[in-house]
Chains A and B, each alone.
Chain A
Amino acid sequence: MSGVNKHFGDLHVLKDIDLTVHPGEVVVLIGPSGSGKSTLCRTINRLETIDEGEISIDGTPLPAEGKALAKLRSDVGMVFQAFNLFAHKSVLSNVMLGPMKVRGKSKKEAQDLAMALLEKVGVANQAHKLPAQLSGGQQQRVAIARALAMRPKVMLFDEPTSALDPEMINEVLDTMVALAKEGMTMIVVTHEMGFARKAAHRVIFLSDGQVVEESTPEEFFTNPQSDRAKDFLGKILNH
């Protein structure tokens, strides 16, 4: 993406963002609340529109609307803070829906794929329950499986652990670390510094809608360059 700008009314939430993520790369976006990191993440599959600039995925500019946009979104997996599993459908149906209705797979194929993915994220034994019957951590892992079922080129994670109880955070992070190890291209908005250290190739620090700092996790956590990043890290790491 290059030269991306976005406003919410008078608020300039994204200021001239330039960012390139390479295939297989894991990029973590961190920054204080209101810095625009979630908004940035959501612009990548156009859940938020942008005012200026250009976003391309795999060389294709993001279409404005219609079938072309739907097609592009199907190649971009998204995991939300609030899980957003389809509440009226079973866990299995949640994962099968995309492959059947978007990819046109047969029911049998979709079911095999869904069960394999649920197995992979460790909730296969819950396949026939409704989302509301699962814990938050389990729901989020189902949401990851649902996104993976589309065989996405890139996965977006928008604060995937922020709505979870502390003891459930790790089960989700472990799933994400495993995914990163497999070479999935990932853009992750998170406050989990442990994940950034363990799995990220690059950390991008945003503040007030601007990229303030961009470096490897080691460099960023041990030797931050900007005052803003030092201040932020000082606040979150000193307790």
Chain B
Amino acid sequence: MSFLDRYASVLSQYDVLGAFWVNIQLTFWAAIGSFVLGCLLALMRISPIASLRGFGATYVQLLRNTPLTILMFIAVLGVWTQLQITLSGDFQQNFFNFAVVALSLYHAAFVCEAIRSGVNTVPVGQAEAARAIGLSFLPSARLIIFPQALRGSITPLGNTLIALTKNTTVATAASVAEASGLMKTMIEFNSDIVIAIFFTFAMCFVIIVIPMGLVTTWASRKWAVKR
């Protein structure tokens, strides 16, 4: 049997696309979760209330510096097994949901810092002008600061999204049947074509991630705030 025939027969035995579809779904939900949470954290970190600033800073330091794998284990072994909290009646869906929560909590710290870097691109005069016409903190953040800050943080947000996409492979630690888990199984039973299997999975990630980079570069130019 030639190498190509062997490769094709191995691929046909496993649902590689199905496994990647799980990674894409993890990315999608965790991107939404981490973006919303990251925005809230960024809001806390620039707020005039010291205790909120303190909470935001502590959250970022804690979550940014904890390995994602450990968060996955805490979610599944700690929260589910030990505390018996379930996020879904369905066995597989439960793991998936825990993985989304862990990914969201972890990447929210990076989203927060990306947005805060965007806030730093907004001149202080913008906030002063907003205050001067009588806008209090929340309206001026929502109407003036955040719209400009988000446009200034498209590139770092894109970087975080790319990291998130690749980090979904860690969900295998939370027993989610996704691409990297499948890869491990395939290698175990087909060690003669291990390089080809590695290469296949790597290329699939590259194909998913490259458009993200292109879109964020394009968007950061298109929506740049002209000053």
Contact = CB atoms under 8 A, between A and B. Distances in A.
Contact of A150 (B126, B134, B225): B134
B210 interface: no
Contacts of B12: none
A98 B132 CA distance: 10
B135 A84 contact: no
A80 B226 contact: no
Interface stretch (A64-72, A165-173, A205-213): A64-72
Interface string A119-131: 0000000000010
Nearest to A74: B134
B36 interface: no
A72 B135 CA distance: 10
A107 interface: no
Q: What band does the interface of chain A fall in when counting residues whose beta carbon is under 8 Å from B?
A: 20 to 34
A178 to B, nearest CB: 21
Contacts, number: 72
A91 B130 CA distance: 15
A88 B151 contact: yes
A167 B125 CA distance: 24
A87 B136 contact: no
B134 A87 contact: no
Contacts of B136: 66-67, 70
B139 A101 contact: yes
Contacts of A74: 133-134
A133 B226 CA distance: 9
B225 A85 contact: no
Contacts of B139: 101
A84 B128 contact: yes
Interface of A: 45, 47, 65-67, 70-78, 80, 82, 84-88, 97-98, 101-102, 130, 132-133, 143, 146-147, 150
22 contacts: A70-B131, A70-B136, A71-B134, A72-B134, A73-B131, A84-B123, A84-B125, A84-B126, A85-B129, A86-B126, A87-B126, A87-B148, A87-B226, A87-B227, A88-B148, A88-B151, A88-B225, A97-B133, A97-B143, A133-B226, A143-B129, A147-B132
